[in-house]
Amino acid sequence: MEQVDCVVIGAGVVGLAVAREMALQGRETILLERENAFGTISSARNSEVIHAGIYYPKGSLKAQLCVQGNRMLYEYCRTHQVATQPYGKLIVASDETQIGDLQAILYKAQNNQVPEIGIISGEEAKRLEPQLRCSAAILSASTGIVDSHGYMLSLLGGFEDAGGMVAYQSPLISAKALGAKAENGFALEIGGADEMQIQTQLLINCAGLSAPAIARKIEGLDAGQVPKAYFAKGNYFSLSGKSPFTHLIYPIPEPGGLGVHLTLDMGGQAKFGPDVEWLDIDSENQIDYTVNPKRSEGFYEAVRRYWPGLKDGSLQPDYSGVRAKIVPPNAPAGDFCINGPSEHGLQGLYNLYGFESPGLTSSLSIAKHLEGLIKSSL
């Protein structure tokens, strides 16, 4: 049986960042991916937004890692020639009744030490974006867009340059803890055309939507440590024609998401979404990514609260993604959950649950944070 130092499961943006960090630390690392390429699931179906860390509760992992990750991501992209667009973001109070909500959001952001953020008047917002309906707005200058595919390609290159190996079409069949506390590592059975057995000291589950399902394949892990997966679909509609806005435009957040917002791609083309559509399913393989055109009715209504000039017939179904939730509908938003040896008692096992937004922004800081946890457990 081949022996390695570390196996990372899942080659989405978080898995790539984690695998690169493990390899840079000198560990012989294999990255397992069940698909035939990297970043084809959640990492290919998001807004590509570099978040500032505004909305998350003070002291949460999301707040801490997003604020750190924002700085790290811009710096990484600058030094690795990955394209970004620092458009900036306006969070808009569409009428006077929402100004209190805006102030509460700013208070959260300031608690999280988000840089370059403040409230501007409706008049100032309209000078920036003349087509906006708005009584006041928060302007976040550190919010932007990243070429997420280019970023993942760069992470993969860094991982391979550090000696890492990626195995595509290699799903995990089973994992077994060797020893009562996995003191001898884990024996993995890998499927695919080239079935293989690997023994590893360090096993990191970055499987995103499938992370709870992967964890249930680990013999020796207490089932009570594995959360139930919930799936929240987010649909996007693209705007035909030129965007009237040069900033990202967000309404006041809604339960489960940040409201139907306007984002821009790297070329300045506008899209709206995501909304929140909870799926009544039990596993990832039941997801239907088709966008129902009828959902545009809710989009027109939501968008016209801050952009009354949106014309009928100008929204086209574009794409959808699904958030890896570990809390049910109507519950407070969950935090990132790193379930490690101090929780479940198995040495060298780290399960990453609920790594939805802001996973892209936080990817480098997640990897650094995880490395710190690993070092402190030794």
Query: Domain ranges in the chain?
Result: 2-45+149-226+334-377, 87-144+229-325
How high is the pLDDT of residue 164?
A: 98
How high is the pLDDT of residue 258?
A: 67
Banded pLDDT at 255 (limits 50, 70, 90): low
How high is the pLDDT of residue 98?
A: 93
Residue 56: both structure tokens together: 């998350």
How high is the pLDDT of residue 256?
A: 59
How high is the pLDDT of residue 6?
A: 98
Burial 212-231 (b: 16+ CB within 10 A, else e): bbbbebbebbeeebbbebbb
**What CATH superfamily classification does 2-45+149-226+334-377 receive?**
FAD/NAD(P)-binding domain (3.50.50.60)
Query: Which of 23-27, 48-52, 71-75, 253-257 has the weakest average pLDDT?
Result: 253-257
User: Architecture of domain 87-144+229-325 in CATH?
Assistant: 2-Layer Sandwich (3.30)
Q: Residue 118 carries which DSSP code?
A: E
Residue 238: both structure tokens together: 């693209």
| Alpha carbons 271 and 103: distance in angstroms, whole number | 27
| Alpha carbons 291 and 47: distance in angstroms, whole number | 15
Q: C-alpha distances in angstroms, 9 versus 86, 173, 183, 193?
A: 32, 12, 20, 17
Average pLDDT across the chain, whole number: 96
How high is the pLDDT of residue 259?
A: 78
pTM, rounded to two decimals: 0.97
How high is the pLDDT of residue 378?
A: 80
How high is the pLDDT of residue 356?
A: 96
